[in-house]
Structure 1
C-alpha cells in the first residue's frame, strides 16, 4: 500500500515514454513509461476512448499495478460512502457523490481506497474542463502528461473519421 507521500513522489518522478505516438483512431493506447532517473521504475499511461460515446476519454496512470491518477470525461462514478484519516478534507464534501457523464472528474489514489475517490476537474484545477473535439482530446492528454511528469514529447496520429 502506498502512502500519500509515496504517490506524490511517484507522480513527481520524471518519466520517459518508450513509444511517443498516440493513434487517436485506436480505442485504447497503452504507453510504457520508465523513470528518467532509474529505468527499473516502470509506469503505464493508458488512454481509452469509447466507440459508443463520442469524446468519452479516460487517461489512467499506473505504477506497477497500482492506479495513481485517472481522468474521466463522460464517465460515471460513485465515491465511497465512508471517510478515513487518509481522505483529505477537500474530498469530504464529495462522500457518496455520484458523478454523471456530464461531470468530468479526476480520480486520486489514497491509501486504503486506491483510486476510488474523485473530484470535479474544476475544483482540482485541471485546465481542460470538457471535450468536444479531437483537439480537446490532445489538450487533455498533454495536460495529463504534465500531471504525471511525462517528459517525452508525444505526437498524435489523428483518425480519418470521428
Structure 2
C-alpha cells in the first residue's frame, strides 16, 4: 500500500494523455478508460469514466487509478450521500481523495471554483482532468463530446 507522501506525489505529477484524439463520453450504461503517464514516463495512470447507471442518464463517476489498481481520486457526480468514517454525511456531488489508512473512504464537498459545472458531463470531465494536472496543451480535453 502507498504512503500518504507517495500518494500526494502521484497526485501532484503532471500527467499526459496517451491518446491525443478527442474524447467521446460513453453513453449511459457504458464506461471508458483514458490512459495517462507521468511527464517523465515512469508512472502510469488510468482515468475511468463510468456511466454504468442506466436509470439516471446523468449518473457518472470519474476515477483516477495508479498502476491499474490503486484509486487515488473519485468524483461522484450523482448518487446517494456518502457517510465518512467519522459519521459526517457528504451530499453528492462529492470528491473522494485517497487518505492513508482509509483509501478513498473519505469524501469531501466539491469546490465549485474547481468543478465549474457538474451538470455538464463534458465540462466536469475537463475540470477533473485539470484537477489531475493533465498537461496543456490538451487537445483531447478541448474536444470532449457528450452523447446522451
TMscore range, shorter length:
0.7 to 0.9
**RMSD after superposition:** 2.0
Q: Which one has a bigger Cα radius of gyration?
A: 1
* SS of aligned partner of 1:114: coil
Equivalent residue, structure 1, for 2:18: 18
Conserved? CA contact 2:25–2:49, under 8 Å? no
Alignment of 1:1-162 (within 5 A): 1-20=1-20, 21-26=22-27, 27-37=30-40, 39-49=41-51, 50-64=53-67, 65-76=69-80, 77-80=82-85, 95-100=86-91, 103-122=92-111, 126-128=114-116, 130-131=118-119, 136-151=120-135, 152-154=138-140, 155-159=143-147, 162=148
* SS of aligned partner of 1:44: strand
* SS of aligned partner of 2:105: strand
Runs in 1 of length 4+ with deviation above 6 angstroms? none
Conserved? CA contact 1:109–1:117, under 8 Å? yes
Aligned residues, how many?
138
Deviation at 1:51, TM superposition (A): 2.3
Gaps of 5+ in 2: none
Measured at CA, do residues 112 and 14 of structure 1 come closer, stay the same or move farther in structure 2, by a change above 3 Å?
Answer: same
Deviation per CA, 1:61-82, whole angstroms, max 9, x where unpaired? 01121100110111223222xx
Measured at CA, do residues 25 and 129 of structure 1 come closer, stay the same or move farther in structure 2, by a change above 3 Å?
Answer: closer
* SS of aligned partner of 1:157: coil
User: 1-side partners of 2:94 and 2:131: how far apart?
Assistant: 14
Name the structure with the higher strand share: 1
Deviation at 1:141, TM superposition (A): 0.7
* SS of aligned partner of 1:140: helix
Q: So what's the TM-score if we normalise by structure 2?
A: 0.81
Conserved? CA contact 2:36–2:45, under 8 Å? yes
Conserved? CA contact 2:121–2:146, under 8 Å? no
